[in-house]
Amino acid sequence: MAKEDTLPKLLIRNYQRYGKKAVAMREKDRGIWKRYTWEDYYKSVKYLSLCLVSLGLERGDKVAILGETKPQAYWAELAILSAGGVAVGIFADCTPPEVRFYVSHSDSRFIIAHDQEQVDKILQIKDELPLLKKVIYWDEKGLWFYDAPILMSLSDALEMGKEYERSHPGLFEENINRGNGDDIALILYTSGTTGIPKGAMLNHRGLIRAGDAIREVDSLDDKDVYLSFIPMAWVGEQIIGVACSIYSGMVVNFPEKAETVQENIREIGASILFYGPRQWESVNRMVQAKIRDASWIKRFFYNLFLPVGQKIANMHLAKQKPNLLWKTLHFLGYWTVFRPLRDKLGLSKVRVAYTAGSAISPDIIRLFQAIGVNAKQLYGSSEMGLVTAHREGDIKPESCGPPLPGAEVKLSGEGEILVKNEGMYVDYYNAHEAYLEKMDDGWYVTGDFGHIDEDGHLIVIDRMEDLRELSNGRKFSPQYTEVRLRFSPFIKDAIVVGGKDNDYVGVLVNIDMDNVGRWAESERISYTTFADLSQKKEVIGLVAEEVKKVNKTIPEWTRIRKFINLHKEFDPDEAELTRSRKLRRTFLEERYGDLVEALYGGKNEYEVETTVTYQDGRKGSLRCTLKVTSL
């Protein structure tokens, strides 16, 4: 590890090493890539940090960051840490009540916000936040005529920082030198799948150790190019994006918006990529849908050479060398299918592609390995840090890889995963009792069920509390089936249900509106709304075929016997998903309890009326008839 024990000290190291000579960040803005050198990065952090100090920020104070992942969010975090403060991550799509909870619970005294949308949220709740002193926003569009005293633009803040330096020379460097690796750097809130989110406190030493572990495993350096768009409120972006970039010196690139990610990856030629499972599933659905819509000649070559790619990938995974025949076939497949496909997806220069955060179908890992994308799975969380990762030449799609340097993994007698890690959290903020409940003699009790194979790879199966038992006593993992259902281009989400009172497994399905809609148009099936499309008999038949495919790959007693296509998508604004897009299983099973009962009743249809909450807070109702389908 580097001798520097805090992230700001590493920033100064990079500023002294690279200065104006090397690009630290690029941002696509209005069609143009803006470049920021390490000197630009350093100065922005410096002046914003001094501004915060001049406004009254003291060591240990909390500052919330509310916005999309952009260079300014990185500057804000490093500015806070340089002053000895603690950065609090908040997802950009949080509603005002959620923002109020995070800001209030963390005792944040300042908020650094993205744009008018985020500022409007804060102005709605500012009277309920007595500790809040100032809101600094970086995108001024639409905010020119806002005159609330609590607001300040980033440009004004940087000017204030420059002025403050004139009367306090050397203060910025002095504040950084006072810091040490044991200082708390971040408060990241848990996803809240099982209750109220808790604020995990992470120190500098843990973040740097995690960044160093990834750098060591995959040889990250200043020649690598990383695409950043995962929310900074998620620990994955903090480790891969913030810590790894500062530690290794790799260039961080920010897409213009979520819709242009694939295009922007192609432009910059990213070598390091980190998608959450939902993003990989979305890319997979897009690939399969595009192939279905392609000309017959393209479909022919794809179907001809994909098995060749899978065969070669399996050989590499099994550490076998392909013979001349397979090499020749793969050469042809590379130039006719795999290379053009990877280029279209913006993955042609990707050296390492990570996924983490929740379970992902092994079929997705296999698919991308087959077309030549080095897809790897990581395992970790806000509390335990980064624990396992695949190594080059030792990738198993079903596993999360062996432990990283500095991490240990073992299983309890019940098969629960226990972790020790140098990058582990320090405590929960204002919830020490909850912290003690999660620790067992120095081991973090993850709540995940899994096992360790003969090669030391960790295989995570499901949450302990989510394992289900049928009336016949046989247990099954809902998540195991759900991730395989989401491999389908026509299924965006699914929640698998069943319990001790049931003798078979059922599922509630969210169709993928875009892909199913295109399929319906190609089949000349007319529809109006999501609900209308989901209940078309042809669409139900389409989903039934996808469910049958999954049933062939899972144990007999876990196979799905009935399903219902839902009339609406799961929505984080209605608390059905967490902000990191994980299922809130208990909440969903309660909210859709009548539909779950319908899966085990004798009816073929069920009348449903649902309350829908819109983004502006208004509520409406939706009434329709859902069909119960038996397989």
What's the per-residue H, E or C state across 409-449? EEECCCCEEEEEECCCCCEECCCHHHHHHHEECCEEEEEEE
Give the single-character DSSP code of 403: B
- pLDDT tens figures, 434-488: 999 999 999 999 999 999 999 999 999 998 988 999 999 988 999 999 999 999 9
Please give the pLDDT value at position 393.
Answer: 82
Amino acid, res. 428: Y
Q: Strand 272-274 relative to strand 225-227: parallel, antiparallel, unpaired?
A: parallel
Lowest mean pLDDT of 358-367, 435-444, 541-550, name the range: 358-367
| CB-neighbour burial class of residue 616 (10 A; exposed 0-12, middle 13-18, buried 19+) | exposed
Owner of token pair 């500023």 = 15
Are 426 and 203 within 8 A, CB to CB?
yes
Statement: residue 617 has pLDDT above 80: no
The 3-class secondary structure across 114-142, one letter per residue, is CCHHHHHHHHHHHHHCCCCCEEEECCCCC
Kind and range of the H or E element at 370? helix 362-370
Helices (H), 126-239: 154-167, 171-178, 204-218, 235-236
Please give the pLDDT value at position 558.
Answer: 92
Domain 7-274 matching CATH 3.40.50.12780: the answer reads yes
Q: Strand 385-389 relative to strand 375-381: parallel, antiparallel, unpaired?
A: antiparallel
- Cα distance between residue 262 and residue 520, in whole Å: 26
- Cα distance between residue 488 and residue 483, in whole Å: 9
- Cα distance between residue 134 and residue 14, in whole Å: 30
Residue 128 CB: number of other CB atoms within 10 A? 12
Please give the pLDDT value at position 583.
Answer: 86
Please give the pLDDT value at position 603.
Answer: 83
Q: Which residues contact 631 (CB under 8 A, 6 or more apart)?
A: 544, 547, 548, 551, 560, 561, 562, 563
Q: What is the largest CA-CA distance in the chain?
A: 79
Beta bridge partners of 494: 509
Please give the pLDDT value at position 291.
Answer: 87
| CB-neighbour burial class of residue 611 (10 A; exposed 0-12, middle 13-18, buried 19+) | exposed
Are 507 and 548 within 8 A, CB to CB?
no
* Percent of the chain residues past pLDDT 70, beyond the cut: 97
Are 362 and 397 within 8 A, CB to CB?
yes
The 3-class secondary structure across 473-524, one letter per residue, is CCEECHHHHHHHHCCCCCEEEEEEECCCCCCCEEEEEEECHHHHHHHHHHCC
**How would residue 415 be classed by pLDDT, with cut points 50, 70 and 90?**
very high
Residue 556 CB: number of other CB atoms within 10 A? 7
Please give the pLDDT value at position 611.
Answer: 67
* Percent of the chain residues past pLDDT 90, beyond the cut: 71
**How would residue 193 be classed by pLDDT, with cut points 50, 70 and 90?**
low
Please give the pLDDT value at position 142.
Answer: 92
- pLDDT tens figures, 548-583: 999 999 989 999 999 999 999 998 888 888 887 788
Give the single-character DSSP code of 318: T
- Cα distance between residue 260 and residue 248, in whole Å: 27
Collapsing DSSP states into helix, strand and coil, what is residue 40? Answer: helix
- pLDDT tens figures, 221-240: 999 999 998 899 999 899 99
Please give the pLDDT value at position 276.
Answer: 87
- pLDDT tens figures, 160-184: 999 999 999 999 999 999 999 999 9
The closest alpha carbon to 432, from 223, 199, 151, belongs to 199
Statement: residue 615 has pLDDT above 60: no
Statement: residue 271 has pLDDT above 90: yes
| CB-neighbour burial class of residue 250 (10 A; exposed 0-12, middle 13-18, buried 19+) | buried
Amino acid, res. 338: F
Are 569 and 492 within 8 A, CB to CB?
yes
What is the rounded average pLDDT for all residues in the chain?
91
Based on its alpha-carbon atoms, the radius of gyration of the chain, rounded to whole angstroms, reads: 25
Class of domain 467-630: alpha beta
Helices (H), 179-276: 204-218, 235-236, 244-248, 261-268
Helices (H), strands (E): how many in the chain?
23, 28
**How would residue 151 be classed by pLDDT, with cut points 50, 70 and 90?**
very high
Statement: residue 420 has pLDDT above 90: yes
Are 431 and 199 within 8 A, CB to CB?
yes
Please give the pLDDT value at position 562.
Answer: 95
Residue 97 CB: number of other CB atoms within 10 A? 12
Question: Model pTM?
Answer: 0.89
- pLDDT tens figures, 303-356: 999 999 999 988 887 778 889 999 999 999 999 999 999 998 889 899 999 998
Kind and range of the H or E element at 44? helix 38-54
Owner of token pair 């949080």 = 94
| CB-neighbour burial class of residue 288 (10 A; exposed 0-12, middle 13-18, buried 19+) | middle
**How would residue 101 be classed by pLDDT, with cut points 50, 70 and 90?**
very high
Collapsing DSSP states into helix, strand and coil, what is residue 470? Answer: coil
Degrees to nearest 5, angle at CA 369 with 366 and 373: 140
Kindly state the tokens that stand for 284: 């997979």
Please give the pLDDT value at position 574.
Answer: 83
Same fold, 7-274 and 467-630: no
Please give the pLDDT value at position 290.
Answer: 84
Of the chain, the end-to-end C-alpha distance in Å amounts to 56
Give the single-character DSSP code of 168: S
Domain ranges of the chain: 7-274, 467-630
